[in-house]
Amino acid sequence: MFRKRLLTLSAKHSFFLFGARGVGKSALLEAVFPVKQNLYINLLDPLEEARFALNPNELVELVSAMSDAEQYVIIDEVQKVPRLLDVVHLLIESKKSPKRFILTGSSARKLKRGGANLLAGRAFVYQLYPFSFVELGQDFQLQAALSWGLLPGLFRLQQDEEKRQFLQAYAQTYLKEEVWAEQWVRKLDPFRKFLEVAAQSNGKVVNYANISRDVGVDDKTIKQYFTILEDTLLGFMLEPFHHSFRKRLRAAAKFYFIDVGIVRALSRMLSVQPLPATSYYGDLFEQFIIVECIKLAHYFKSEYRFSWLLTDSGLEVDLIVERPGATTLFIEIKSSTAVQAQDVATLQKLAGEFGACEALCFSCDPRIKQIGAVTVYPWQQGVTSYFMP
Strand 369-371 to strand 357-363: parallel, antiparallel, or no bridges (unpaired)?
Answer: unpaired
Q: What is the pLDDT of residues 99-130, one digit of tens each?
A: 899 999 887 666 655 445 556 567 888 999 99
Mean model confidence pLDDT for the chain: 90
pTM of the model: 0.92
**pLDDT reported for residue 120:** 59
Least confident range of 196-200, 312-316, 328-332, 379-383: 312-316
- Tell me the domains of the chain and their CATH numbers: 15-127 (3.40.50.300), 133-387 (no CATH)
Q: What is the pLDDT of residues 279-291, one digit of tens each?
A: 999 999 999 999 9
Q: What is the pLDDT of residues 186-244, one digit of tens each?
A: 788 899 999 999 999 999 999 999 999 999 999 999 999 999 899 889 999 999 987 65
Neighbours of 83 (CB within 10 A): 15
Question: What's the full length of the chain, in residues?
Answer: 389
Neighbours of 355 (CB within 10 A): 11
**pLDDT reported for residue 312:** 80
Helices (H), the chain: 25-32, 46-54, 58-64, 84-94, 109-113, 133-136, 142-148, 160-173, 188-200, 208-215, 219-231, 260-266, 279-300, 345-354, 379-387
Q: What is the pLDDT of residues 125-157, one digit of tens each?
A: 899 999 999 999 999 999 999 999 999 999 999
Which element (helix H / strand E) includes 39? strand 39-42
Q: What are phi and psi of 95, to 5 degrees?
A: 60, 20
- Structure confidence at residue 247 as a pLDDT band (50, 70, 90): very low
DSSP structure string for 280-313? HHHHHHHHHHHHHHHHHHHHH-TT-EEEEEEBTT
